[in-house]
A and B are shown apart, each in its own frame.
Chain A
Amino acid sequence: MRKSVRKLMALALACLMVAGLLAGCGKKNETIKLGWMGSLTGDQAAYGTCESQTLKMLVEEKNAAGGILGKQIELICYDTKGDAQEAVNVAKRLCAQDKVCAIIGPNASGQCIAIQSVLDQYKISDLSTVATNEKVTVQDGKLKEYNFRVCFLDPQQGKIAGTFVYDELKFDKAAILYDINDDYAKGLKDNFIKVFTAKGGKVVAEEAYTGGDTDFTAQLTKIKEADPQIIFTPIFYQDFIMIHKQARTLGITLPMLGGDGCASEVLFDAADAVDGSYVINHVSLVDPAGDSFRQKYAEKWNGAKMELNGYMAHDAFLLWCAAVEKAGSDDAQAIAKAYCEVEVNGMAGKIKISAEDHNPVGKSGCVEQIDGKNKTYKFITYIAAD
């Protein structure tokens, strides 16, 4: 008696499972699944959080307006913890388990480079927001079929930095302090030196540290001794803040110039220390054209301030929408193909992806000065990236 009950139960369970499978199949085409990945925790959490919140807001809007191709968009967001290995796991989950039609993110080059093999395996495209390293789309002269981006590149950013310091500020003595363990920092540093010295500038001190270090007084004292006019710091905002704090206590009042990794609202936590320094950005954070966008975001997310990543996520989403419409379906390969065929007007200017290298063409970078007293940025100039 007991045995047969067990058998019956097993049979019932098996039936349930099969039913579940079938139910899953039936639902498959009701929504269009878009994946997002990025840092929701860790040092770059502020960036990832802003990206995911922006996308959630935009997807909600788009769905309320009828969705895309008559279907609702389902956004699936995962945390990469700022870690390349975790990014690979997350990418696999999005591709294999959630079966998304495209991925937006992650917000750092190292993670974008790491997920390439997963993208190639599942033939699903990734459209990166702020991954500026060259190798994200092209490595060893070979185009990565499923990696795209909407931002400018490190060489271009290094060039913007060098041009700005020499041509705009008219400085010819610069020091560099960078994280030797970080590809992003090294990429910017090398290209800055190339452009700056070619113009006639001189790098009087080149100091490094290892990611995770918190004490920079030894390097800063050395830089002070070399007497530069500006310190180029191609790093991320947390180190940027710590370096500023320590420099000010050492009596170094020089301005510093950071890349797009420094531009964050978090900087104003240390407003006094960072006052007067410059950051390069993809888009001006104080441009009146973005006012309504920022306001919408703040209303939706409890007064949260818009980070650069929000603008880039916005542009990536626009491009994705255009590509889906062009492709006419949620077929992952058709969308990847359509990325190079569409053109949109984003927050950071016109975006047209080149089929040759999957990078946007004709971008420019904007340099802003930090106004610590009013806790805002002051727009300085636009510099062409190409």
Chain B
Amino acid sequence: MDIQYYLQQLVNGICLGGMYALMSVGYSLVYSIMSFSNFAHGGVIMVGAYVGFFALTALKVPFLVAFLLCGVGSGLLAIIIERLVYSPLRQRHAPSLYFIISAMGASIFLENFVIATIDGTPRNYPTLFSNSIKIGSLSLGLDSLLMIIVSAVSLLILMFIIQKTKIGLAIRACSYNEKAGTLMGINSSLVIFVVFMMGGILAGFAGMLYGMRFIVKPTIGQVTNKSFVAAVFGGLGSLPGAIIGSVLLGIMEIFVASINSNLRDLFVYALLIIVLIIKPSGLMGKVVEDKA
């Protein structure tokens, strides 16, 4: 076991973390505005993976077009879910527990909707990038590299929107205090619309990248459980927190798995419990009691 081995495992961990990052940002975005965990996010990612698969195999469009289609498809789906499921609850000022239960319902609904309309058979993306890149003795797949690049670029764009644009200012204001923001003339419905759209687009990208690297099946939404843990670990509601939490979780998970692979999930969920007990605000989250 030389240094190369550990470096390779580190690269593996960063690749895994990059994927978690793209997924966990969706959780954090919604949480920062609406203070609930949008568990339907996993379903949206799964649908994104299917959109990309059929765009590539049935429509036979080039990769970039399929990739954008994923973003559009999942973005639309996220908005539809918001309008159909959360909006009525919002208008009734329902407690956040209702949102969480509805979100879980939406997630299971999406899973079964795909099983009923397409089928449950796992599918494999056609090989797009079969090459791997070698840096010294380290290797990583082009798809993993692409995943990290896409994660980084889309997160940078997202941060830019949130920090530098007017709608970003409105989002930040609402995440600080939605009622006060509304009183100041911010259209909170529009803010929520934009937040779900951005989360959905990222989910679409994540879905396609996940499908390319791994597999497409109705239950892939469940992998987002780990990205949710990453979001909690980084601090729910904080975007930099979600990213740092994801990458750290990916690296830790890989190293735990390299010691004993049976411990990886045990470790991840133990971490979730420990974080919630010791530091519920995570690495960089805002201080709140309710981390549902």
Which A residues contact B (CB, under 8 angstroms)? 41-43, 45-46, 81, 180, 207-210, 212-215, 217-219, 221-222, 224-225, 238, 241-242, 245-246, 248-251, 266, 269-273
Closest 9 A/B residue pairs (Cβ): A249-B141, A41-B120, A218-B257, A251-B139, A217-B12, A269-B124, A218-B258, A214-B214, A45-B121
Q: Contact at A46–B261, with CB atoms within 8 Å?
A: no
**Closest CB of chain A to B174's CB: distance in Å?**
36
**Closest CB of chain B to A70's CB: distance in Å?**
39
Q: Contact at B126–A41, with CB atoms within 8 Å?
A: no
**Option from A208, A213, A251, A272 in Cβ contact (under 8 Å) with B127:** A272
Q: Contact at B132–A217, with CB atoms within 8 Å?
A: no
Which B residues contact A (CB, under 8 angstroms)? 1, 5, 8-9, 12, 15-16, 115, 119-124, 126-127, 130, 132, 134, 139-144, 213-215, 217, 222-223, 253-255, 257-258, 261-262, 264-265
Chain A residues, CB < 8 A from B141: 245-246, 248-250
Chain A residues, CB < 8 A from B262: 180, 208, 210
Q: Contact at A210–B120, with CB atoms within 8 Å?
A: no
Q: Contact at A238–B122, with CB atoms within 8 Å?
A: yes
Q: Contact at A217–B215, with CB atoms within 8 Å?
A: no
Q: A242-B215, A250-B132 are in contact. List 12 more A-B contacts (CB 8 A).
A: A43-B217, A214-B215, A217-B254, A218-B12, A218-B253, A218-B258, A219-B261, A221-B9, A222-B258, A245-B213, A251-B134, A273-B130
Q: Contact at B15–A217, with CB atoms within 8 Å?
A: yes
**Closest CB of chain B to A246's CB: distance in Å?**
7
Chain A residues, CB < 8 A from B132: 248-251
Chain B residues, CB < 8 A from A251: 132, 134, 139
Q: Contact at A45–B120, with CB atoms within 8 Å?
A: yes
Also in contact, A208 and B261, with CB within 8 A (given A238-B215, A242-B214): yes
Q: How far is the CA of A218 from the CA of B254 in the complex (A)?
A: 5
**Which chain A residue has the least Cβ–Cβ distance from B130?**
A272
Chain A residues, CB < 8 A from B144: 249
Chain B residues, CB < 8 A from A212: 222
Q: How far is the CA of A175 from the CA of B122 in the complex (A)?
A: 27
Chain B residues, CB < 8 A from A225: 1, 5
Q: Contact at B257–A219, with CB atoms within 8 Å?
A: yes
Chain B residues, CB < 8 A from A213: 261, 264
Q: How far is the CA of A266 from the CA of B140 in the complex (A)?
A: 25
Chain B residues, CB < 8 A from A270: 124, 127
Which residue, A214, A218, A242, A269, has most C-beta atoms of chain B within 10 A? A218
Q: How far is the CA of A246 from the CA of B215 in the complex (A)?
A: 12
**Closest CB of chain B to A309's CB: distance in Å?**
14
**Closest CB of chain B to A284's CB: distance in Å?**
24
Which residue, A209, A245, A272, A273, has most C-beta atoms of chain B within 10 A? A245
**Closest CB of chain A to B112's CB: distance in Å?**
11
Chain B residues, CB < 8 A from A46: 121
Q: Contact at A249–B16, with CB atoms within 8 Å?
A: no
Q: Contact at B8–A221, with CB atoms within 8 Å?
A: yes
**Option from B130, B215, B265 in Cβ contact (under 8 Å) with A248:** B130
Q: How far is the CA of A81 from the CA of B219 in the complex (A)?
A: 14
Also in contact, A209 and B261, with CB within 8 A (given A42-B120, A217-B15, A248-B130): yes
- 7 A-B residue pairs with Cβ-Cβ distance under 8 Å, sorted by A, are A217-B254, A218-B9, A221-B258, A245-B141, A248-B132, A251-B139, A269-B126
**Which chain B residue has the least Cβ–Cβ distance from A251?**
B139
Chain B residues, CB < 8 A from A215: 12, 16, 214, 254, 257
Also in contact, A249 and B139, with CB within 8 A (given A41-B120, A42-B120, A217-B15): yes
Chain A residues, CB < 8 A from B265: 210
**Which chain A residue has the least Cβ–Cβ distance from B256?**
A218
Chain B residues, CB < 8 A from A210: 261-262, 264-265
Chain B residues, CB < 8 A from A241: 124, 215
**Which chain A residue has the least Cβ–Cβ distance from B9?**
A221
**Closest CB of chain B to A161's CB: distance in Å?**
22
Also in contact, A41 and B121, with CB within 8 A (given A209-B261, A221-B9, A248-B130): yes
Q: How far is the CA of A224 from the CA of B7 in the complex (A)?
A: 13
**Closest CB of chain A to B261's CB: distance in Å?**
5
